[in-house]
Structures are given as structure tokens and as C-alpha cells.
Structure 1
Amino acid sequence: MNPRKLQARIVAVYLGLLAIIQLTSYWFIEDTVDRNARDSISTELRTGERVFSRLLQQNTSSLEQATKVLAADYGFRSAISSADRETLQSALQNHGERINAGVAIYTNANFEVLASTATDPRPFGAAVQRYARQSLSGGTQANQVEVINGQPYQIVAVPVRAPLLIGWVGMGFPIGDALLKELRYLSELDSVLMLRSPRGEWTVSQGSFDPALWKPVVASWQNPVRTDADSLDPTLMVAGQEYSAHPVILPGAPGQPPVTALLMRSVDKALQPFAALKLTLFLLSLVGVAAFGVGGYVTARRITTPIRQLAGLARRLERGDYGAEVKVPSQDEIGDLAQSFEAMRQAIQAREGQIRRLAYEDALTELPNREQFRHDLRQAIERNQQEGQPCAVLLLDMDRFKHVNDVLGHRFGDEVLRAVAHRLRHEALDEECVLARLSGDEFAVLLPLTGVTQARDVAARVQQSFERPIRLDEHTVDLGAGIGIACCPDHGREADQLLSRAEVAMYAAKQQQAGTVVYHPGLDSTSEESLTLLSELRYAVDHNQLRLFLQPKVNLRTGQVIGAEALVRWEHPERGLVPPMRFIPFAEQTGFISTLTHWMLEQCAQAAAHLAAEGFPLKLSVNLSTRDLMDQDLPTRMEQLLATQRVPSNTLVLEITESAIMDDPQRALQTLGRLHAMGLRLSIDDFGTGYSSLAYLKRLPVDELKIDKSFVMNMESDLQDAKIVRSTIDLAHNLGLSVVAEGVENAKSWKLLSGLSCDEGQGYFIARPMPAAQFLHWVRHWQPPDTTDEWLSTEFAAMI
């Protein structure tokens, strides 16, 4: 059976589903059995712990009772009184054998051994002394043990009084093979007693295992296979068998090490009874696979036979034979499929021509699309290779088109694209040129028999065609374009390569605002970086990665917070906070600064409304770029924004640089006049660093000047800077303008500026820029500095 055939795949699906079900069931049963077995073992281990503790308690109780009987015996007391060591020794020997004690010992009140059944009584005497002291001070711990000569013992000591304390009788019961065998008999658990040396080495003193396995048990205890997360019981591998273990800590006397009793249960033996069940399940799975295989094969044949008939008819349609009627005698879904084949046969021929046209033509402008342009470009390249005829590609992308779409809507944008296509075709290009729309507002021009010089001339005509605004539906649209040029064979001999390099040059033209750029190898790396940055910047605006920061402004005379300058920060998910100097100049070059400005104005209006609602009607300043000033629609958008956010117009202060105004003073004056008429406050930013004319400054409808921080930061140590600042303040006040000093870095600057009658200040001495969410808290807790004790040198003091 061919595995690629539908019939084989249907059978495979049947068998695969069964296999999945069976494997899942087998896994579930295996997991359940294993988990239940381990839970049962865990229960057994804890039961074994209780049995082990009970055995130890019984031994302790027997020892205490027997020791008390001996201590109270009249003959034993008489032997003590007469200092008859032989009688004491005999009594200890007989009594110890009667209760199976490992050692019996008698000491005087000073714990000097007078009689003992042990060969070396000294360690036992010390153990009796420790036990006696514990008994006198509050009692011993449960199941307390003493390790003597590598053997764990249970020790009991009873005082002998006549009536005062005259001595101590001690008994020791070895915890050894007999106790572990009894534990195994009662609980079926294996066990070992482990001791740990001062150097951290583990040894086994007794165990129910074969002594040959004691070292493997210790090794596995130190490196268990795994540890249960709930009970912390380890799993050990000993001689190839898996054991669940449970440690029972037998505390030692004060200053003595504890003994670890490790109770163990074989996991393999616990799982052995379930082996027959697993075999039965495996045999049932084999029977199920066979039954499903036969059923799947029969079902698959009934489905695939009519499908093979339809496949034959489809091959006839593929060869262009549309005359054969599609007939399959079936009333089920296969019959419905056959009717659909017939409807398709009737429609294919009619649609084929339309599909060919749509595949190679842009529906909006009726120009060739990207695929057709690539085809024409490949043909031009082939002519170059065969006949040596050069060709060139112009790629152009319109400036400000996105703004047109955003403001006037996509329908109007489509009309603009049609108008651009008509203007390029009939005014800028010759008949032999191929004009195509590649995507969005991106157009391409193929210039056959054209080198770099002629391509530049064509690009100049295209740029000239954009100098006249486009008028549609009573709207005037002022567009521009960045054009990239790549030539064959100078810049490449493949269609995709030429298009790519023309695109690189085009983006370089837009970034540099150069109008037209011819490709050269040095553009590649920077262009790729710019494309990435522009894409990420668009994404940042659309996905809330930009953050509004505010730097406070205060009244230098009263110390009151009166506003803040708004700044933007880009919180990139991978790069962190991107410095403004990394993306603001780039946004200005590419025209994206208008989008950033619009975002800033919206955020500031919202922040101002929030601050006013909290009882702080402060003014917020926003920087405008050259492109913003040249945008004649800016006043309209500002009016809409103020109405939407319901904030007074004097809440916002628009800061413009001198250079931005002087790029096109007349156009800037028109925009500023409209903004000022709306009640918006206007400020000249970085005053003193540009090249503005005082004549223009007198005509500008501005409300304040901002002294550049390069003068302010050094004014308390540089007398010339201080004089420039004083002159600027006097000039501004004579023109009726308020003055803001940037770069207030210390208390001396504050005092000097206040003495020079500067109105406002901002700088790191007051506060660094902070996230807008923290600004309200800062305002509520702001305290003006006390500059009374700030000393100014004679020259500076004389200025104020």
C-alpha cells in the first residue's frame, strides 16, 4: 500500500488514533500503578517508623523498670553499703542477662565506676553520667541513643538513694541485628543504622541487608536517584534495585552525634504483582490494532474509489479539456464535490483571462504591479547582457502620504495615488519608460537604454512634477518624494538586486532629505539600520512603548512649581530606554517627527487635565521641530486636540528653536501667528545658540525666552556667561517676555538668577526628568531650597 495514497492515510489515521488511545491508557495505568505503589510504600515506611519507635520505647521501658527494680533491691543496697564489689558485679551480671541488656554498670554519686559488666566501662560510665544529668535537669529525649565503640545503645540510669543519693545504676541495650530483624518481621521493611563521622563520612553499623550491600546503600544515600518533593524521602538504587527510603533520626545525648535509621522498601518488589496486568493490556492492544486496521481499510476503499474518478476528470481539466461533463453517480458528499467540479469547469475559462490581467496589474492605478515590473526589468537586463544596452531603475516613495491618509482618509489617499500616477505618466516620463506601483505610496520607473546621468535627469523631472500641489475635492496636497537610483550593469545584474539597491538609495534620500540618491556600496549598512529603526519607531508609537517624562519648572523668586517641560523616552523591550538623541534626529530626518509631536501633544494635554483635576493647574511645554512649524495643518490639529481634551489653551507652551524659525521665517511666522491667536503660549528654546535676527525676534508672537544651559551652567564661575545671561534677561523683559533658565545645577545659580530677575528655572538642582506618573507626587512634596547662606563673589554680587 502506497503511504502517499489517501487510502493508506485513512488506515494510518485509524491505527494512529487507536495507538494514541492505547498508549495514553497504558501510560495512565502505568503512572497510576506506579504512583499508588509509591504512595503505599510511603505509608508502609511511616508505619514502619512508628513500629520502630514503639520497639525502642518498649526496650527503654523494660530497661527503666529492670534498673529501678535493681536499684531498689535490698541485697544490692547492702552490697553497696558494704562495698562488696563481687556481689555488685554478680548482681549486675545476673540482672543484665535477665533482661538481655548489653551492659550493666554501677557508679557512686561522683560517677566513679564501682562495678560493670563491660570490658571497658569508661565510655559507659560517661554515658550514664550524661543520662543522669539529663534526668536531673528535665529528662531525656524520646528514643535517645549513645554510640559507644561504633555500636548504638539505649542507655538508662536510675539513682540509688539511702535515703540520700549514693550512686547510679545504668543499663545499656544495644540497637542491633535482633531489633532490625524484629522490625522486618513486623513490617517487611529492610533497615540499616548509619553513623556519620566528624569528617562527614557515613558508615553502616547494623543492617538487615547482606553486609556486602552496606557500602552501596551508603553510596546511594549520599547521591540518591531523586527526592520526593512532599515528603523529602529519597529514592535509592542498590545492586540494581530501586528502593524508597525514609530516614528516622535517633537523637544523641548532649554533645553526642545522632544515629540515622534508614527504613527501606523495594519498589521493584512492590510493582511485581502488576506485571501480569501490563501483559494483558499489551495483548488487548494488539487485538485492537488488528481490528481497527481491517475496518479502516474497508472504509478507505469506499471513500477513495469515487475520488480517483474525480482525479482523472481533474487531469483532463488541467490539459484544457473543458468539454467533458463531470458525472459521478453518488448522492453523498462525493456527489456534491462532483457538482462543484462541474461548476468550476464552466467558470474556469471565463475567469482565466481576468486572472491573468489582475496578476500583473495594480487595480487602483491600472499600472503594472511589482510582478510585471520585475518581469520587464529581467527582460531589460537580458538585453543588457546580449546587446550591452544599459538600463536604470528609479524607486520613489512619497513624503507625508501617511499624514494625508490619517487626516483625509484612505479614500482620498487612493485618489491622490491615482493623481500621482497620472502626473508621472503624462508630465515626467517618456513613453518608453515603464511606470509601476509596487505597494502603498511606492512607485518604480524602468528606464531602458539609460545610464546614471540620464537617470538623474529623469529624477529631476519627477521631483519637479511634485513641486506643484495636487488639488482634489477642494483640498490642496503638498507632496514630495525620495528617489533612489540603481543602474545595470553598474549596480547589479539581477532584477531583485537592482530593486533592493534602488530601495536602499531611496531610503538614504529620505533620511538625508537629499531628494535623489544614486546607489553606492556605502549605503547598505546604514540603510538597513535606518529601515529597522524606522519600523521599530512606528511600532513603538502603535504599541505604547513611548513614555512621557516631565522636568519641573519653578518660579525662582517664590520657589513655587509653575510647570514642566515634556520629554519623550522610548522604552524598547530589548534595548531598554533608548536615548532621545538616538531616535529624535532620525525622526526629524525621515519626517516621522510629526507623529512623535502629535503623540507628545496628546499626552501633555491628558497630563495637564489630570494635574488640574488634582488641584495643580500647571503649564506643560512641548518642543516643536522645523517640520512641525512648516506644517500648515498644525494649528487645526491643535484646536481639535484642545477641544477633545477640554484643557485651556494657555496650559500648553510650544517651544521652538531659533534655527527652526530661521529655516523659513515667513512660513514659520504664519504658523506661529495662528497658534498664538488660539491662546497657546510660545517660547524660544535654547536662545543665544542660534543665528536669529533681532528684527525677526521683535516680530515673533512669542511669550518667553529660554536661555540655553551652556550659559547658565557656568555663570556662577564665568563672569562673561553671567553678563550674557543678564543681558538676555533684560532684553526679554524689555520686549515684554518672561525668561526661563535651563541648566540650574546648584544653589548659587539659583540665587544669582533670582537676583538677576530671571522668572523661571529648570535643571538637575531642582529635579531630573521623571516619569509623568511620578510628577504629581513630586509636586506635592516639593520644598524650595534656602539660598540665604549661599555666598557670591564680589563681581557676581555686584551684578545683582
Structure 2
Amino acid sequence: MGVAAVRRRPAFLDLRRLQGRIVALFLGLLLVIQVANFGFVRYALDRQAERTLDGELDVGRGILTILLQQRAARKSAAVELLAQDYGFRSALGQGLTRDEDLATLRDALDNHGKRIGADLAAYFDVGGRMLAAEGAAIGLQVLKFASDEGNDLQLTVIEGQLYQLVQVPVRAPLVIGHVVMGFKLDRDLLEQLLTLTNVGSLIQLRGSGSVAPPLVVEDAQLAFLQQTDGSGVDRDALNLLDADEGRLRARWVTLLPANASAGTPEVRALLWVPYRLTLRSFKDLQLALIGLNVLGILAFAVGAVLTARRVSRPIQALARSAERLGEGDYEGPVTASSDLSEVQELAQSLEHMRLGIRDREREVQRLAFWDPLTGLPNRVQFLQRLQPLQPTGLLMLNLDRFKHVNDVLGRDVGDQLLQQVTQRLQGCVGDEALLARVGGDEFAIAVPGGEEAPAMDLARRVLEAFEDPMCLGAQTVDVGAAIGIALALRHAREPEGLVSRAEQAMHAAKRTQAGVKVYDDSLDDRSRASLGLLSELRQAVEHHELRLYLQPKLNLRSQRVEGAEALVRWQHPVRGLVPPGLFIPFAEQTGFIRELSRWMLIESLRFAVQARAQGEVLRISVNLSTRDLLDADLPGKIQAWLAAEGGDPSLLCLEITESAIMDDPARALATAKDLAQQGFKLSIDDFGTGYSSLAYLKQLPVRELKIDQSFVFGMEADEGDREIVRSTINLAHNLKKSVVAEGIETQGALDLLAAMGCDEAQGYFIAKPMPADQFLAWARARAQG
């Protein structure tokens, strides 16, 4: 349910899709920009509102000053009436010598003060001496007020109360004194300011001693005094928060500085303006901006969706083309459905990829089912075309001496040979049979019918076709073949089984040099027996069933035994003593020969070290197989075994065969040189039986040649064999190498070799191979005897 819902979601809402990511990116960037823009505008509006409110506070301060000045002017005019009153001046002019005169003066001050709303009244003579007073005692405070400079608002504090004083001279006609009247500040002044400017205010006396409560329009506004301590007086604006009006812009203004000498406190006013009235005009602008932003986002979202679809739909089409290519459909061309150059480039790349994959697929198909050299079906196609349960005779053919042609004449000549073989086979099989190349030099022929006679006839025709030599440029090559035959429904029912039976028959024909061999069950039994033998051989090393045998090597000059050839025997718990000819070939085929070589080298080293400890210095010869010689790590391994057994290279002679060198000359030569540099004596075994011994003799770092026993057996009776042996001895000595002859059966052969100058000899006449634990006793007995 959830997966279906996700799949039904529009592509531009799915962040896993390209459309969704493009829309999300565009809208995200726009939102960031719009939020930043809105924040900047809001900040600018706030700053502008603060500047506007600061201007209103400046205006309010000026209006407050003007109101105080106007109030002082009005009160001054009222007091002026008293000062100009004729009767008042006449009374003062007669002098105030009696108590009755002072009482009259006080009554005049009281009556006139009450008419104009004065809270106190006093008269001073020209010397500054107070003669009469009504209301609060003013004394020296009034004189101080009269002498203050800069007190243009005529404010003073008397007994903790703020008064605005008016001082008028009395002339008769000269100045004979001063009338001073004081008026308490009340809320009317603040209400006028609020009415005229919308600026709220309060007036506070700030200083030590007893002061009056703040003067405010409403008592609730006293809360402002708890929000500010007066910092920034007359300089900085403050942002306050009032529960009723919200955020306020406020400022402290000094009306009367403190007078320390007179002990009077500072008089200051707190002016404020609510933000809401000023921001009301900006809110419409903000709403308009928000509306424009919302419209812009919607328009941008629509544009982003359209753009994302314009970009993603051609890509989706190309993705479907890629899926088609992934499913193996390489025939339909890939085209672009958009005019965007990037999409067209992607489409062109996919089209080039389609063409390349199609061509390679065809080539892979050709290589997978056809042999590129001969043009014949390969093993895979051959097995596919062999129909199960269909009567078929199968011929498996393997060429003789093909590897030698490859190694001596080169692979190009070998390829030409395979092509000529293919032509001859095609001439023999006709159109009804199926011919295929199933291996390097192996061919398979499927003959309809499944009878033995037609298959044998075809095999004989093929062998007859190979009797004529093949001309490969300037080279003429004789090539033979071994053919194995297996019949469907008689030997196997499945194609793989039929091919396996034919290959077993082919190997049997090659081993026995019979030319043609039809499969029978005994071949399979022999194969199973060989596999069983190899399985047991793997356990023989672990169970210590192998035995080291040594065949002495006699020095023909000193007539002393100075070495021996190491041989292996298998003491099977059931089969008894198994000769090496039954298990060594299979070990070489499977690669297990390396384990046997390791065992031989370690056991030979161990014996040589023990013999040297007993006073007998012997060099043990150990055969290395083809796989051993192609192992680049062999020198290091032998060194490790030497170190483990406490031996040195002088205790071993490593025998290599020419066939081991011919399999991979470069690698074999490299390994042989490494062994020679480490001090091992190298010997060529079966010298003279190969094809290129002389060609490689000058390159190999060998110190010994071992004449094959086939020449030694017949040299007493055959002059040719005798000359071959003599020539080999002379050749070796001329090349500063020693010679060993094997296969000595008679005293005459031993005497002939000694006369020819042969260095060492071994054979049954001297001694048969014997267990290693009997060798030292035999050697000592021979030396004594």
C-alpha cells in the first residue's frame, strides 16, 4: 500500500526523482532569498520606525518645553497684574514698618495668588530679603532660583515638590522689590502634550532626600520607572514593553539639573511613543510584500515544475532506451526528444554505445560459438548441436607433434597447420557430418547413424589424409593423429558423456599409438583406478608411506661412490611396493608432482646431512619436473629447506630434463640460472633424446650431462651408439662439463666408458636402487672390498 502510494506521487514531489530535486532546489533557493529579503525589509522598516519615533520624541520634547514656557508666560502675566496694581504699589511705597502693613501685604499676596491659582506667594525687597510669604516657605530657595542661569523653564523644587515660579519686579517707579509666585506642575500639562503629539510622558524628581511621587497622566504608567534606570538620559532611545500598548519607544529628558550646593534633586521627564501607531502604516506595506512573495513563490514553483519536466522527460525517455539496451535489444536507435544540447549529447552517446554494444555482442556471439582461426564451430556450439538420444557416432581427434611445431617453428606456422588440417578434415567428412574444433589441437566429428562401421571408415580416411606431409611455406611437416570413437546410445546418452568417452578412447589411442580406438568400459575402469590411486597418493605423504631409495653413482677414476640418484617408492599398505611408473605420470598431470619433489628434496637433504655427520660426503641427485622448473619461487623454497635441515647447496645435484625446458624456455632458463647462482650443481638428464639439446646447452648453466641409457645399452654391439657416447663425452669435456652414464649392465660397458674418459656411471651392474637406510653400509662394504 505504502509503495503504491509512493509510486503514485507526482514526480516533482518525489525527492528521489530528478524533477523533485530540481523543484526542491529552485524553491529552496527562492525561499532562502525571500526569507532573507523579508528579514532585511523587516529590519529596514524597524529602523525606519525607530527613526520616525525618535523624531516624534524630539517633537514631544520641544512641545513639552514650549508648553512649560507658555505656562510660565501666562502665569507671569497674571502676576504682573498684581505688581502693577496701584494700591499694592502705594502700600509698598509707604514702607512696611508696622505689623499691620505686613499683614496687609500678606493678604494681598494671598488674595491675588488664589485668583490666579498660585500655590505659594512671596515678596522680596531689592536686597533679596523676604518680607512676606503665603504658602510653602521659600526663603533662600527663591533667591537661588532667581540667580540660576539656564533655568529658562523657571522650575524649582521646594520641600520635595516641583514648582514653576514666576518672578515680577515691583516699580514705584523704581524697582522697590519682587513678587514671586509658584505653581505646582499637574497632569494637565502632560495631557496637553499627549493630546498635541501622541507622546506619553511622566515627570520625576531624581536625587537624594525626600522627593515627590512622579507626575503622570495615569498611575499605571509608573511601571516604566521599573524598566529603566535613566541611562541614556537626553541621548539614547529605549525600547520598552507596556502591557497595554505593546512595544514603546522612550527617552529620558532632563528638565532641571540637580543642584548639589542647594540640595535640590534632578528633574527629568520620560517621553514615549507606542510603535503600533507608527508601524500601522508599514503593516500594509509588509502585507503587500508578503503577498508578492507568495505570488512569486507560486509562479516560481510552476516555472520550476515546468522546467523540471522539460529536463526530466527526455532523460526518462533515454532511461527507457537504456533499459531496452540492458534487456538486450540493440536494434532500435536511440533518439533525443528535446532540443537541449546536453540531452542530445547524451542521446548521441547512448546511440554510440548501442552500436558499439551491438557490434561487440555479435562478435561475442561469434567468438562464443565459432573458432576464429578455422571458422569451425567451437566446443560450446558442438555440444549444443549434439542432440540427446539421437544416434550419433563421435570421433575425437588429437594431432601428434603439434606442440613441437609450435615451439620450433612458431605459433604462426602452428596456426597455418591447423588451417590446413581443417581443410583436409572438411574434405573427408562431407556435408552430413558435423566438424568442430574443440581444443588447441583437438577436433570433433559427429557422424549420423551411431554405428561403429561408418565411424571406423571415416577415421581411416582421416588418417590416410594425414599420411601426406603438409607444406607450410618453406617448411614441410609430417603430422599424425590419434582418434577416439564413442557411439551414442551405446556408450553414453548425453552429449557431455559422449564427448568424455570419445576423449578417453582418443587418449588410449595416443598412449598405445594405435591410431584409432573405440571406447570400451575398461578405459573408464582404468581412469577410475588412476583417480583412486592419486587420491591415495595424497594421503601417502601425510601417512609417511613414501620411501627414499638411492642408486649409487661411481667415480670411474677413483672407483669410489661419491654420490647417488634419489628415487621414490611407495609402500602402499594394501598394494605393497608401488613402482614409480604407476603414480609419477599421474602426479605430473595433476600438479601433485610438486609435493613429491618437495618430499624428495627434503628427504635427500636430510640423508646427505646425516651422512656427512658420519664422515661420508655424498652429493644426492634429485630430478626436477617441468612444473618444478617453471616455479619462480623454487630457489627460495630450496634455500628455506636447506636452512631447516642445516645443509648447503654442495649436497645436492638438481637434474632437469630437456622436455621441462622446452615447455617454457624463458621461465625455465630464469629458474635454472637462479639455482646455479645459489651454488647448486645442475645436470641435464636423458641428454641426446630431445630435439634441441645443443641449442640450449650453451644457454643453460649446467655442470653435468647425463647420457641416456638407450645409447649405453647398445654401445658394446652397436658402433653408432658407441660413437654417440664418445662424441657426447668429448663435447661435454670441451665445454668444461662432467659426464654421467646411466644404464650400466655389464663390466664391458663400464670398461668402455672408463676408456672414453666418462666421469661417473650408474646402473644395475654397479648396484640397484636400495633403501636409503642401507646405502651407507653398502658403500662402506664396497670401499673395503
Tell me the TM-score normalised to structure 2 length. 0.38
Q: Which has the larger radius of gyration?
A: 2
Tell me the TM-score normalised to structure 1 length. 0.38
